[in-house]
Chain A
Amino acid sequence: MIESNQAFIIAAYAVTWGAMLAYLAYLARRGGRARAKYERMAPGDRNTA
């Protein structure tokens, strides 16, 4: 019982970190795409660099 409870505790913390890191990666990817698109639309504007 104790061992199986430990698995649930580990799963909870793993899911929390998985969600946070996945969202962080999503933000990095989406940010890169947005800046690249803006650079194409308004070349030379460094405000988004």
Chain B
Amino acid sequence: MPVTRPSPYSHPPRTSVWFAFVSFGAVIAAQTHAILTSPAEGDMGHLQKIMYVHVPAAWMTFLAFFVVLVFSARYLWKRNEHDDLLAASAAEVGALFNGLTLMLGMIWGRPAWGVWWVWDARLTSTLVLFLIFVGYLALREFVDDAEQRARWSAAVGAIGAINVPIVYMSVTWWRTLHQPPSSPATLDPAYTLGLRLNAIALLLVMIYFIRKRYEIARVERAAEHAAEAAAMGGR
């Protein structure tokens, strides 16, 4: 199937700097609210405040990889280059949040469990998810042919994203040290507003990152197309 190449010189979407200010400002406001208003938890005391960064980071990981799944599948169906670039942008941002989730989990685990790391189902499946998407990004660096790169990474992205429900359900399916999933439905009402606000704020940051990364990816592809056109004209 021929690849649809939208005009490389069509206007790339410009991500407003105001979007950055609003999203990062929202994170500052949400974190300040959560830190100042949430009471100490019965078992963990103030350590519970790590939840406001750890849990939203995990949700953004899942969401970003869902975007990868949708746009990878769309690329395989329609062969539109924009879908490939959007999936790759979401994969990079998802890997960032995935790595952050792992780091924050370790920082929380050390005082709560007494260990930095344990090979339980939730932690291990989250690490596997991270490694799959690090592999995805490495694959994109090593394959020169744009169409082959897009096809292979769409396949890896779609398969990798299937791991997301396994990570989410791991605490239910297997006996783990990790607690059951935190959500407004399972939390004490004293913590739900803080969690919701931090999730919305981090969602804005994630959207900003994906948009900005996509914008850059389009300019990079436009430069590649221009180089190819120059090489063809120079023969």
Contacts and interface: CB of A to CB of B under 8 A. Distances in A.
A2 B107 contact: no
Given A8-B50, A13-B53, A35 B96 contact: no
Interface string A17-49: 001100110010011001101101110010110
B205 A5 contact: no
A27 B209 contact: yes
Interface centre among A2, A12, A20, A45 (most CB of B within 10 A): A12
Interface size class of B (residues with CB under 8 A): 35 or more
Contact of B47 (A5, A31, A37, A41): A5
Contact of A38 (B49, B104, B212, B222): B222
Interface size class of A (residues with CB under 8 A): 20 to 34
Contacts, number: 86
B139 interface: no
A32 B167 CA distance: 36
B47 A8 contact: yes
Contacts of B99: 19
A45 to B, nearest CB: 6
A11 B100 contact: no
A30 B104 contact: no
Nearest to B100: A19
A31 B212 contact: yes
Interface stretch (B64-72, B144-152, B188-196, B223-231): B223-231
A42 B227 CA distance: 8
B185 to A, nearest CB: 24
Nearest to A14: B107
B220 interface: yes
Nearest to A49: B14
Given A8-B111, A13-B53, A41-B230, A48 B219 contact: yes
Given A30-B216, A34-B219, A42-B223, 6 more contacts: A4-B111, A9-B47, A15-B104, A20-B27, A27-B212, A42-B226
30 contacts: A2-B45, A2-B46, A5-B46, A5-B111, A9-B49, A11-B107, A12-B53, A12-B54, A13-B31, A15-B100, A15-B103, A15-B107, A16-B53, A19-B99, A23-B93, A23-B96, A27-B212, A31-B216, A34-B219, A34-B223, A35-B219, A38-B223, A38-B226, A40-B223, A41-B223, A41-B227, A42-B9, A42-B222, A42-B226, A48-B12
